[in-house]
């Protein structure tokens, strides 16, 4: 069995605001600065926070695509989509 020894400087306590904002304690910020993009992943009760620049451009594009796809799916479930035949769809696309 493997156990990782965690140094006490790797542990901090913070709170989430009513707006969902979480303050990263100063001693944990390292090279983080105001305006940095962050990627947040949730997995089995864990929240993982990483600087977005540590990911490739493709991963950032993939995350945006996943976000937009999820939003489109939710709109579809709410019945907010318009049905049209192929010709009408092509005409609409020309307007884009």
Give the 3-state DSSP-derived string for the chain, with helices as H, strands as E and coil as C: CCCCCCCHHHCCCCCECCCCCECCCHHHHCCCCCCCCEEEEEECCEEEEEEHHHCCHHHHHHHHHHHHHHHHHHHHHCCCCCCCCHHHHHHHHHHC
Show the domain range for 53: 8-95
Write the pLDDT tens digit of every residue in 49-59. 888 877 666 77
Return the percentage of the chain with pLDDT > 90, whole number: 8
Please report, for the domain that includes residue 83, its CATH number. Answer: 2.10.260.10
Number of domains forming the structure of the chain: 1
Tell whether 57 is covered by a domain.
yes
Determine the pLDDT at residue 7.
55
Please state the pTM of the whole predicted model: 0.46
Tell whether 3 is covered by a domain.
no
Determine the pLDDT at residue 64.
80
Tell whether 61 is covered by a domain.
yes
């Amino acid at each position: 069995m493997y156990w990782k020894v965690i140094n006490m400087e790797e542990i901090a306590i913070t709170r989430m605001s009513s707006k969902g904002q979480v303050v990263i304690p100063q001693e944990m910020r390292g090279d983080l600065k105001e305006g940095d993009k962050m990627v947040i992943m949730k997995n089995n009760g864990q929240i993982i926070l990483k600087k977005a620049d540590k990911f490739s451009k493709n991963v950032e594009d993939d995350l945006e695509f996943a976000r937009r796809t999820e939003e489109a799916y939710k709109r579809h479930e709410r019945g907010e989509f318009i049905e049209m035949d192929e010709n009408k769809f092509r005409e609409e696309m020309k307007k884009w």
